[in-house]
Homo-oligomer: A and B are copies of this chain.
Amino acid sequence: MTAYSPRLGRLIEALRRLPGVGPKSAQRMALHLLQRDREGAEYLARALGEALSGIERCPRTRMFCEPAHCGFCSASRAKAGQLCVVENPADLIAIENSTPYRGRYFVLGGRLSPLDGIGPEALGLDLLAEQLADGTVQELIIATNPTVEGEATAHYIAELARARNVKVTRIAHGVPMGGELEYVDGGTLSHAFAGRQLL
């Protein structure tokens, strides 16, 4: 027993597939588009269609890319000889937006998790191993998340690189800039303390 007409009901149901969107906000979004922004609805439908038809996984970085415009496989990025490994596309975007790093990337698409059946193949580590073996990488920068599984993944990848004589670094973890020791969680604080550096 619902007040939605069939197409309105389907639109609300479809909007609920977006992460973080519950029934109330899906209804608000649908009514907003129909009432005040039909042009926005058209734009969104078109953008979704174009994304689905034109965005692929780059066979080299495993990042989403548009074959004709893959911004992450350029010759200038390769020149630096650095390869940064991240878990997810969002991590790559965060590094690209916040740091001056402009080398190559490798997106795992997850982290090793034997209990969930996520092994080295699922993360494309054979592909990574090939890239580490071809002599183009001087430094492998591991930027997996500082969780138990992220650390285990970092350790596994570090071994892959060392076996191929590639220098391995790991991004630093510690007290966040602007954070106050008093409020930082204990694990982070003890990690930061153990990782203290000479000034």
Question: Which A residues lie at the B interface, using CB under 8 A?
Answer: 2-8, 10-11, 13-15, 17-20, 25, 27-35, 37-38, 40-52, 54-55, 64-66, 69-71, 88-90, 92-93, 96-97, 109
Q: Is the CB of B96 within 8 A of A47?
A: no
Q: Is the CB of A89 within 8 A of B31?
A: yes
Known contacts A3-B92, A7-B50, A50-B7; is-contact A14 B44 (Cβ 8 Å): yes
Given A13-B47, A19-B29, 4 more A-B residue pairs with CB atoms under 8 Å apart are A5-B64, A5-B71, A18-B40, A19-B25
Can you name 6 A-B residue pairings with CB atoms under 8 Å? A5-B69, A14-B48, A20-B25, A31-B89, A35-B109, A44-B45
CB-defined contacts of A13 to chain B, threshold 8 Å: 47
Identical chains bound together, number:
2
Q: Is the CB of A45 within 8 A of B42?
A: no
Q: Is the interface of A mostly helix, strand, loop or mixed?
A: helix
Selected contact of A90 from candidates B27, B66, B97, B109, CB within 8 Å: B27
A7 CA / B31 CA spacing, docked (Å): 26
A7 CA / B51 CA spacing, docked (Å): 6
CB-defined contacts of A33 to chain B, threshold 8 Å: 17-18, 48, 51
Selected contact of A55 from candidates B5, B49, B92, B97, CB within 8 Å: B5
Known contacts A89-B31, A90-B28; is-contact A97 B10 (Cβ 8 Å): no
Q: Is the CB of A64 within 8 A of B14?
A: no
Selected contact of A47 from candidates B7, B46, B70, B93, CB within 8 Å: B7
CB-defined contacts of A19 to chain B, threshold 8 Å: 25, 28-29, 32
Q: Is the CB of A44 within 8 A of B17?
A: yes
Q: Is the CB of B55 within 8 A of A4?
A: no
